[in-house]
């Protein structure tokens, strides 16, 4: 298209770029591709801040990986060679998972490291815990004092009183090795507010507890999602979903909310929360009735004979008879039944069902958080979804869904200490026999129930006071020094949990730490190296660095070196048997250093030594240079060599484990549990289902609160409500609504939208951050609140002021124009531990009303006495079915992170 006179003048004056000229010039060529890896230590580009002058800058580009979600996409840090500072992050094209691309949170890492309010020094509490007063201390003091407390605890012989509780993991076994060296069953995680429900459903089938969908090669992509593709594996999956769709794949999204993914779908099915199992079993029936099942896969890979023997012993033992019996077994799941349960048109059930039924081996399915973590019995969702893959023979195939462990690299460590001699009852209480993983969300309730306490409690990049349900019970636990002897918060940024710590230790963001990453983000297997980029830059410049905190901002450290140094101080003379696990495998009698730790792992990665040699370097040098390595192009059909790691060695359609552990009605996939938010359980016109477990794609739970680019995009969390419901309730856009949960209430504003199913209201649980007057940090996204302890478990939170601009060394902090920081809803949620999977059931049954006089936007009230009573009710459901065949606490074949020695898996009858 020809240009206007004004455009031509503007181009000449360089007000707008001259794309015609740049298309043919070398300069534009450079802009259109990543810099060549040979030039990474000597990269030149023009300084945008100097425009229109052409001032060249010199950079060293250092690869690392993003730390803002689990995907660990590749990043390239641009280190300004003159200032020695990181100035921006872009994608690393050598990373096989992300292939040079990132979501908004990747490049926003620069906001996190330049955050003017981040924690830069180790700090120790002054005054009472939670009082908000701190003093800076040196690392040596922090290490000595914490080591002394751990030593005292270990010397009592206790194996469960020193605990490491991780929010954002991603270090592939590093800390578990340390905990084993200390001899404690002390690993706790966030998994049971996240993926425990889905994991249970998958594990029942084949022990592998996560799916790996091959989106790029699928014919049909079926996502059950309220969170997926904007959270876990967001960018790596999103790019492959688009590739699949460009090749003709159909996208079906099951979600009561029109998510970004649903908005791109060929079919969006806004099912009632918790009804998904009914839908999938209906589609299973359609596959069977239409004869579209993979007979060979079923016959060879599924334990159908075991089911026939146990349930139909007099029937002919053939696959054809089995199929006939299956049709009878699932005959109740008609399209009409599914439509009724899901509250969607029957035509939609049939239309999407036909697409799924005809997908064959290229049916690619995924559920991660979403319905499987939302509902009582949510684990049935993944179990019934995987049933569709089993029926169509799309397990482990190209374009199908594989176990994620096939694509995940497990490092070989230089030293593996023995398994702990003990069992932590606070993490795996005996009544939750099938829980995946630790029962972390009821930790305060278990302690209140008199079932244990902790001497030393590390929270690592973990903020349960804010992210977990019933945060006031967490505050009560953390304020109680009898329950938690010493609380150490390891975090790069301030958070609501760190306010209640004894020590706050500044940990590194993505470019300030070592980690090893490997995730099943595609059909291949890769490993990536998160490295502290200024340390690598120093090495390239010929400088020696002993500890990473020497080059990081302030005194920011990394956990790896911290754990090593702490361990040596717990056992300085080696008498406790800890020190021996920290000896270098390369230098006799010396302590291992961080380079040697990773060198040992990289030397053992298949194919990496050869690739390194071809570039005239060693494996560590290769990973420092490239940041990632592709171990296997694709990992299909591994079961042909490895089989299935279940008791039967088959895909377990029929689970004897469920029978043995007291749940015979769940021996095969069925829709036997109605969600706690099933329409039949909602009473009156004012009761609704609250859908809180969805993520806005630009936020992380805690650490994005001062990432200014991300906060500017989203900083408030209104209530999504359908126009029909708004009309019934007499509210309109911006009106206030009071949302009453089982344990309290909050007041939020309304967003009227057709993007939510009628009868369901939504509210993202990633916004609503707060701090009290005495607390520091995160002023870009936190309201200032007052917290009132009114006695007898009654708590009130009020917003004193919203977000305000502030002076700092970053001029942008004085330009904040948003005032509304949203509302903290999670703190009003009751804990709802699923008796089987152990996962928290995020969806809440709520009453909606107009706030009374005096009740204002942002108000929160909670009664922790009520929350404890409510916990007891749910806990009872697990207790009444508690069964321990052969004395096993839980099935021996199921996973447990940081497994104790096998004898501790059995209940000691004398206990
Ligand atoms: S998806 Fe986004 S947040 Fe997650 S690792 Fe990749 S770039 Fe980072």
**Do the bridges between strand 794-801 and strand 782-789 make them parallel or antiparallel, or are there none, so unpaired?**
antiparallel
- Asked if residues 60 and 540 have their Cβ atoms less than 8 Å apart, the reply is yes
What pLDDT is stored for residue 202 in this prediction?
Answer: 97
Distance of CA 465 to the CA centre of its chain: 17
Residue 267's region, left for phi above 0, alpha for psi from -120 to 50, else beta, is: beta
For residue 259, how far is its CA from the centre of ligand 1 (angstroms)? 18
pLDDT surpasses 70 at 12: no
CA-based radius of gyration for the chain: 28
What pLDDT is stored for residue 13 in this prediction?
Answer: 65
Residues with CB under 6 A from ligand 1: 66, 68-69, 71-73, 98, 102-103, 105-106, 234-235
pLDDT surpasses 70 at 169: yes
The chain-wide mean pLDDT, for the chain, equals 95
**Do the bridges between strand 782-789 and strand 860-863 make them parallel or antiparallel, or are there none, so unpaired?**
unpaired
Tens of pLDDT, residue by residue over 663-672, are: 999 999 999 9
Distance CA 157, CA 153 (A): 7
What pLDDT is stored for residue 701 in this prediction?
Answer: 83
For residue 101, how far is its CA from the centre of ligand 1 (angstroms)? 9
pLDDT surpasses 70 at 19: no
**Segment holding 669, helix H or strand E:** none
Mutational pocket test of ligand 1: of 63, 67, 68, 696, the residue with most ligand atoms within 8 Å of the beta carbon: 68
For residue 390, how far is its CA from the centre of ligand 1 (angstroms)? 31
pLDDT surpasses 50 at 22: no
Please give the structure tokens belonging to residue 295.
């007979």
pLDDT surpasses 70 at 230: no
The per-residue b/e assignment along 773-807, b for 16 or more CB within 10 angstroms, e otherwise, is eebbbbbbbbbbbeeeeeeebbbbbbbeebbeeee
For residue 107, how far is its CA from the centre of ligand 1 (angstroms)? 9
Distance CA 421, CA 780 (A): 46
Locate the ligand 1 atom nearest the alpha carbon of residue 68 and give its number. 3
What pLDDT is stored for residue 173 in this prediction?
Answer: 85
Comparing 8-12, 152-156, 179-183, 486-490, which segment has the lowest mean pLDDT? 8-12
Locate the ligand 1 atom nearest the alpha carbon of residue 106 and give its number. 7
- Of the two residues 897 and 137, the one the predictor is more confident about is 137
pLDDT surpasses 70 at 31: no
What pLDDT is stored for residue 231 in this prediction?
Answer: 65
Please give the structure tokens belonging to residue 301.
């890979």
Which of 852, 846, 820, 855 lies closest to 734, judged by CA? 820
Query: pLDDT category, 124, cuts 50, 70, 90?
Result: very high
Please give the structure tokens belonging to residue 688.
């609704």
Query: pLDDT category, 9, cuts 50, 70, 90?
Result: confident
pLDDT surpasses 90 at 642: yes
Widest CA span in the chain: 92
The mean per-residue pLDDT over the stretch 570-594 comes to: 97
Tens of pLDDT, residue by residue over 412-445, are: 999 999 999 999 999 999 999 999 889 999 999 9
φ and ψ at 579, to 5 degrees?
-55, -35
Locate the ligand 1 atom nearest the alpha carbon of residue 75 and give its number. 7
pLDDT cut 70: percent of the chain above it: 96
Query: pLDDT category, 27, cuts 50, 70, 90?
Result: very low
pLDDT surpasses 70 at 228: no
Angle between helices 559-570 and 174-182 (to 10 degrees): 10
pLDDT cut 90: percent of the chain above it: 90
What pLDDT is stored for residue 702 in this prediction?
Answer: 86
Locate the ligand 1 atom nearest the alpha carbon of residue 700 and give its number. 3
- The residue written with tokens 């972390």 in the block is 440
Distance CA 22, CA 14 (A): 12
The mean per-residue pLDDT over the stretch 501-518 comes to: 97
Q: Hey, whose CA ends up nearest to atom 1 of ligand 1?
A: 235
The per-residue b/e assignment along 572-593, b for 16 or more CB within 10 angstroms, e otherwise, is eeeebebbebbbbeeeeeeebb
φ and ψ at 362, to 5 degrees?
-110, 40
Residues 6 or more apart whose CB falls under 8 angstroms from that of 2 comprise none
Please give the structure tokens belonging to residue 570.
């717990």
Distance CA 701, CA 720 (A): 19
- Asked if residues 319 and 295 have their Cβ atoms less than 8 Å apart, the reply is yes
Mutational pocket test of ligand 1: of 67, 75, 102, the residue with most ligand atoms within 8 Å of the beta carbon: 102
Distance CA 663, CA 667 (A): 7
Distance of CA 818 to the CA centre of its chain: 28
The mean per-residue pLDDT over the stretch 143-152 comes to: 98
Distance CA 262, CA 260 (A): 6
Residue 572's region, left for phi above 0, alpha for psi from -120 to 50, else beta, is: alpha
Angle between helices 276-289 and 335-342 (to 10 degrees): 170
Tens of pLDDT, residue by residue over 284-306, are: 999 999 999 999 999 999 999 99
What pLDDT is stored for residue 25 in this prediction?
Answer: 41
For residue 66, how far is its CA from the centre of ligand 1 (angstroms)? 6
Locate the ligand 1 atom nearest the alpha carbon of residue 235 and give its number. 1
pLDDT surpasses 80 at 646: yes
Nearest 10 degrees: Cα torsion 733, 735, 740, 741: 30
What pLDDT is stored for residue 225 in this prediction?
Answer: 77
Locate the ligand 1 atom nearest the alpha carbon of residue 103 and give its number. 2
Residue 157's region, left for phi above 0, alpha for psi from -120 to 50, else beta, is: left
For residue 764, how far is its CA from the centre of ligand 1 (angstroms)? 19
- Asked if residues 867 and 298 have their Cβ atoms less than 8 Å apart, the reply is no
Q: Hey, whose CA ends up nearest to atom 6 of ligand 1?
A: 73
For residue 695, how far is its CA from the centre of ligand 1 (angstroms)? 13
Query: pLDDT category, 233, cuts 50, 70, 90?
Result: confident
For residue 596, how far is its CA from the centre of ligand 1 (angstroms)? 28
Locate the ligand 1 atom nearest the alpha carbon of residue 101 and give its number. 7
pTM over 0.85: yes
């Amino acid at each position: 298209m020809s240009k206007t006179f004004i455009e031509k003048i503007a181009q000449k004056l360089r007000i707008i770029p001259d794309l015609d000229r740049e298309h043919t010039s070398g300069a534009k060529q450079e802009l259109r591709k990543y810099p060549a890896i040979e030039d990474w230590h000597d990269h030149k580009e023009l300084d945008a801040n100097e425009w229109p002058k052409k001032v060249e800058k010199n950079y060293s580009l250092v690869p690392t990986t993003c730390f803002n979600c689990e995907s660990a996409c590749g990043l390239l840090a641009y280190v300004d060679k003159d200032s020695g500072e990181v100035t921006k992050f872009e994608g690393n094209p050598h990373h096989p998972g992300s292939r040079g691309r990132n979501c908004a949170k990747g490049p926003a890492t620069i906001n996190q490291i330049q955050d003017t309010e981040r924690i830069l020094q180790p700090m120790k509490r002054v005054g009472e815990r939670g009082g908000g007063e701190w003093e800076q201390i040196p690392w040596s003091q922090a290490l000595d004092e914490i080591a002394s407390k751990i030593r005292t605890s270990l010397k009592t012989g206790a194996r469960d009183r020193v605990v490491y509780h991780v929010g954002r993991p991603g270090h592939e076994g590093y800390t578990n090795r340390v905990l084993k060296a200390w001899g404690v069953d002390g690993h706790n995680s966030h998994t049971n507010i996240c993926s425990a429900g889905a994991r249970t459903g998958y594990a029942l089938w084949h022990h592998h507890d996560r799916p790996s969908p091959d989106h790029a090669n699928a014919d049909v992509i079926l996502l059950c999602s309220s969170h997926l593709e904007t959270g876990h594996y967001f960018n790596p999956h999103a790019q492959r979903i688009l590739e699949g769709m460009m090749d003709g794949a159909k996208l079906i999204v099951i979600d009561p909310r029109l998510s970004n993914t649903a908005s791109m779908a060929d079919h969006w099915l806004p099912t009632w929360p918790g009804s998904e199992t009914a839908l999938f079993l209906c589609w299973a029936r359609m596959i069977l009735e239409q004869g579209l099942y993979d007979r060979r896969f079923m016959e060879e890979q599924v334990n159908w004979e075991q089911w026939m023997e146990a349930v139909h012993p007099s029937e002919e033992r053939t696959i054809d008879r089995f199929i006939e019996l299956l049709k009878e077994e699932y005959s109740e799941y008609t399209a009409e039944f599914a439509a009724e349960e899901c509250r969607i048109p029957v035509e939609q059930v049939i239309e999407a069902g036909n697409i799924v039924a005809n997908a064959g081996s290229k049916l690619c399915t995924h559920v991660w958080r979403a319905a499987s973590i939302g509902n009582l019995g949510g684990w049935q969702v993944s179990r019934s979804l995987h049933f569709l893959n089993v029926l169509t023979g799309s397990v482990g195939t190209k374009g199908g869904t594989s176990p994620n462990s096939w694509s995940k690299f497990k490092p070989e460590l230089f030293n593996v200490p023995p398994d702990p001699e003990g069992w932590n009852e606070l993490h795996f209480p005996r009544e939750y026999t099938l829980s995946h993983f630790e029962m972390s969300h009821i930790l305060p309730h278990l302690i209140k129930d008199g079932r244990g306490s902790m001497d030393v409690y590390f929270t690592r990049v973990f903020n349960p006071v804010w992210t977990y349900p019933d945060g006031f019970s967490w505050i009560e636990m953390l304020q109680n020094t009898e329950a938690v002897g010493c609380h150490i918060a390891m975090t790069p940024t301030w958070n609501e949990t760190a306010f209640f710590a004894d020590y706050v230790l500044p940990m590194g963001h993505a470019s300030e730490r070592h980690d090893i990453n490997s995730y099943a983000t595609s059909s291949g297997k890769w490993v990536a190296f998160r490295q502290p980029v200024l340390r690598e830059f120093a090495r390239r410049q010929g400088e020696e660095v002993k500890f990473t905190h020497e080059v990081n901002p302030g005194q920011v450290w990394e956990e790896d070196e911290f754990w090593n140094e702490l361990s040596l101080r717990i056992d300085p003379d080696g008498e406790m048997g800890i020190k021996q696990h920290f000896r270098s495998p390369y230098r006799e009698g010396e302590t291992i250093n961080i380079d040697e730790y990773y060198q040992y792992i990289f030397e053992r990665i298949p194919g990496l030594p050869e690739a390194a040699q071809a570039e005239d370097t060693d494996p560590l040098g290769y990973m420092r240079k490239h940041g990632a390595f592709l171990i296997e192009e694709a990992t299909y059909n591994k079961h042909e060599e490895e089989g299935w790691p279940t008791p039967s060695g088959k895909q377990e359609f029929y689970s004897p484990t469920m029978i043995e552990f007291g749940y015979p009605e769940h021996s095969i996939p069925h829709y036997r549990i109605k969600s706690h938010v099933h329409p039949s359980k909602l009473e009156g016109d004012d009761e609704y289902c609250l859908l809180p477990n969805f993520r806005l794609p630009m936020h992380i739970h805690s650490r994005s609160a001062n990432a200014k680019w991300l906060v500017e995009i989203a900083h408030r969390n209104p209530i999504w409500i359908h126009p029909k419901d708004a009309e019934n309730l007499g509210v309109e856009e911006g009106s206030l609504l009071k949302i009453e949960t089982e344990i309290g209430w909050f007041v939020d504003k309304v967003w009227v939208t057709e993007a939510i199913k009628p009868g369901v209201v939504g509210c993202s649980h990633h916004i609503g951050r707060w701090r009290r007057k005495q607390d520091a940090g995160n002023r870009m996204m936190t309201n200032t609140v007052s917290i009132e302890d009114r006695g007898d478990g009654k708590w009130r939170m009020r917003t004193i002021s919203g977000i305000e601009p502030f002076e700092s060394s970053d001029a942008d902090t004085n330009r904040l124009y948003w005032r509304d920081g949203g509302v903290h809803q999670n703190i009003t949620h009751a804990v709802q531990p699923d008796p089987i999977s152990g996962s928290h059931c995020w969806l809440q049954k709520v009453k909606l009303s107009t706030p009374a006089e005096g009740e204002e936007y942002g108000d929160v009230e909670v009664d922790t006495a009520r929350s404890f009573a409510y916990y007891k009710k749910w806990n009872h459901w697990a207790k009444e079915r508690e069964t321990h065949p052969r004395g096993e606490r839980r099935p021996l074949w199921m996973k447990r992170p940081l497994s104790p020695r096998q004898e501790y898996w059995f209940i000691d009858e004398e206990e």
